[in-house]
Structure 1
Amino acid sequence: MSIMIGNLDTSLLRTFVMVADKASMTAAATSLHVTQGAVSQQVRRLEDILGVTLFERDRRGLRLTATGERLFARARQFLALNDEIWAEMKGEAHSGQVRLGVPFDLVGRAISPVLKTYNTAFPQVELSLICAASPDLKAALDAGEIDLALIEEPVNEGVGECLRIERLVWVGAKGGMARSKRPLPVSMVSQRCAFRPAVFDALVRHDVPWRTVFESGNIEATAVTVRSDMAITTWLAATVPDDLEIIANDPDLPALPAFAINMYGAENAAKPALFALAEHMRKHLFGDDRDGASLK
């Protein structure tokens, strides 16, 4: 018995992926420059063709069904391959400039391996790295100053593509005493740090007096204050340097929330090199050897 094979419509898949990324028909319509009705119609048409339900609605908005989740992952791969073939055939293979925005704490062990393999794979691409606090990166993306950004945000608060969820942890010198001092000496990377509101709110709720020791915007200088046991700081667990210590199970320090590393692309950015970098981030951010990841 022969099996009927159908052809997937890339325009329907692009709409589906955009809706899944935005978790909103309205936001997807804005990004695609079409009406919300057109987006809804395309999603419904794709569901009819496949004979499945792709989205369900809860109080937080649209959510992918289990079937939708499976299609979402495969649709990304399908569209990436489609765009790569199109670019090669049209003579637009990976070249040009891509501007990547990354928070200070992700620049080291998290991003370096990704950038190295990307540069090796696409030597014709002029890749620029812009480092800033997450709120500033978001503003730069909106202003068209960068093409792709990794943004650290509280879980479920951002609308970007969640690449990973990481624990926010207290970090100190190995065997250090700064953690037991009161007021608690805290070293923050900058006043614009995405973690700052959550950290200080936790200290207030736990009734822990604190003082800021250093706020420079320089991650290395912050690390120096911690290594010298002048202060403790907070970092995502996967970014803590090996010579420092995660302060775990200390009853005198409040628990900290998890943060998502969300990926955002500039509106109307359709460079093959940018798509390739985004796919590289999905596959290689932190590698496959760390616990706690929540890849979408």
Structure 2
Amino acid sequence: MPRNLDMVALRSFVAVAETGGVTRAAGFLNLTQSAVSMQLKRLEESMNLSLFERAGRGVALTAAGEQLLSYARRMLRLNDEIYARLTAQEFEGEVVLGVPHDVIYPAIPLVLQKFAADFPRVRVQLLSSFTRRLVSQFSRGEADVILTTESELREGGETLAERPLVWLGAPGGEAWKQRPLRLAYEQECIFRLGVQERLDRDGVEWEMAVSSNSSRTIEATVSADLAVHTMIEGTEPRHFERIQHGGALPELWPVKVNMYASDQGGPPVAALADMLRQAYLAG
């Protein structure tokens, strides 16, 4: 007799796999942690498989979990497509979302996926740029919603999260011990001048190893242990490592992830703003 997979449990499974934990997935799905945990347990029991392994503070997929994830994504996409195409479509058009490149992960892909399911006829144009540029574009009406990374909140904005700025280098790297300290930053990085001022204040000699507006260039230089960089805690790529400097480098400051949303975009813009809000509350 054929057996049916629980689509609700599959959605929770995919959310946990993509966010790396039950807490973030629960916030994104607007469910309690216990509800998500129960759905995962029910899914594992129905298939008689172990799908997750504990990995420190998060979770990691087993081999069976990795295989199921591929199928589950396809099933959910098809489910959402069927539902969207066969029900009333009220909204069409385009929404422009601006996000600094260093805070795209992990929240933005999940938000885009959920928005596409809820508003299949509304296209999201994603602008990945620097905070100063995004603020200018928003003020000119060229973006409907933007996220920024700032020390303060501007008028009309909303702070979604506040996290510390941290020093980053290559895994097991030694570049942070060198003097002058070699820095790698994008030319328009909003943290650059503040970091240099902190180093000057603490009497730490520094020099610019790389000054480029290519984030890939910065990542390559830092991961090769040729310089250090700073990013918001939790947004660093896997090939970076947080520097445990023991006071050899200045303490940095907390950074706000702010959101600014137009009040002229109608329900799609309001829904996108709410999804971003929920994603950061979950994180």
TM superposition score category, shorter chain reference: 0.5 to 0.7
Match of 2:227 in 1: 231
Match of 2:136 in 1: 139
Query: What secondary structure does 1:238 align onto?
Result: coil
1:258 and 2:254 matched: yes
Q: In the TM superposition, what is the alpha-carbon distance from 1:219 to its structure 2 partner?
A: 2.0
Q: In the TM superposition, what is the alpha-carbon distance from 1:145 to its structure 2 partner?
A: 1.0
**What is the RMSD of the two structures over their aligned residues, measured on CA atoms?**
1.8
Q: In the TM superposition, what is the alpha-carbon distance from 1:249 to its structure 2 partner?
A: 4.5
1:112 aligned to 101, 109, 116, which one?
109
Cα distance between partner residues in 1 of 2:108 and 2:216: 16
Cα distance between partner residues in 2 of 1:92 and 1:271: 15
Q: In the TM superposition, what is the alpha-carbon distance from 1:243 to its structure 2 partner?
A: 2.8
- What are structure 2's unaligned runs of at least 5 residues? 1-87
Q: In the TM superposition, what is the alpha-carbon distance from 1:92 to its structure 2 partner?
A: 8.2
1:283 aligned to 274, 278, 283, which one?
278
Cα distance between partner residues in 2 of 1:228 and 1:270: 44
Q: Deviations over 1:63-97 (max 9, x none)?
A: xxxxxxxxxxxxxxxxxxxxxxxxxxxx9834321
Match of 2:124 in 1: 127
Which 4+ stretches in 1 moved above 6 angstroms?
none
Query: What secondary structure does 2:275 align onto?
Result: helix
Letter in 2 for 1:178: A
Query: How many residue pairs end up in the alignment?
Result: 195
Q: In the TM superposition, what is the alpha-carbon distance from 1:135 to its structure 2 partner?
A: 0.8
- Conservation of the 8 A alpha-carbon contact between 2:150 and 2:258: yes
Match of 2:59 in 1: none
Query: What secondary structure does 2:165 align onto?
Result: strand
Query: What secondary structure does 1:175 align onto?
Result: coil
Cα distance between partner residues in 2 of 1:271 and 1:165: 28
Cα distance between partner residues in 1 of 2:173 and 2:267: 48
Q: Deviations over 1:18-54 (max 9, x none)?
A: xxxxxxxxxxxxxxxxxxxxxxxxxxxxxxxxxxxxx
- Conservation of the 8 A alpha-carbon contact between 2:89 and 2:121: no
Match of 1:71 in 2: none
Cα distance between partner residues in 1 of 2:200 and 2:90: 53
Match of 2:237 in 1: 241
Cα distance between partner residues in 1 of 2:245 and 2:176: 12
Cα distance between partner residues in 1 of 2:260 and 2:214: 24
Letter in 1 for 2:194: A
Letter in 2 for 1:197: L
Q: Deviations over 1:127-168 (max 9, x none)?
A: 0011111011100111111111001110x4433100000110
- TM value normalised by structure 2: 0.65
Match of 2:34 in 1: none
> In the TM superposition, what are the counterparts of 1:1-296 in structure 2 within 5 Å?
93-154=90-151, 156-159=152-155, 160-188=157-185, 190-266=186-262, 268-285=263-280, 288=282, 290=283
- Conservation of the 8 A alpha-carbon contact between 2:111 and 2:276: yes
- What are structure 1's unaligned runs of at least 5 residues? 1-90, 291-296
Cα distance change of structure 1 residues 236 and 97 upon mapping to structure 2, 3 Å threshold: same
Q: In the TM superposition, what is the alpha-carbon distance from 1:269 to its structure 2 partner?
A: 1.7
- Conservation of the 8 A alpha-carbon contact between 1:198 and 1:257: no
Q: Deviations over 1:172-225 (max 9, x none)?
A: 01110110111111111x222111122111111111111112222222221111
Letter in 1 for 2:238: D
- Conservation of the 8 A alpha-carbon contact between 2:144 and 2:265: no
- Conservation of the 8 A alpha-carbon contact between 2:107 and 2:279: no
Letter in 2 for 1:124: R
- Conservation of the 8 A alpha-carbon contact between 2:153 and 2:258: no
- TM value normalised by structure 1: 0.62
Match of 1:88 in 2: none
- Conservation of the 8 A alpha-carbon contact between 1:96 and 1:273: no
Query: What secondary structure does 2:160 align onto?
Result: strand
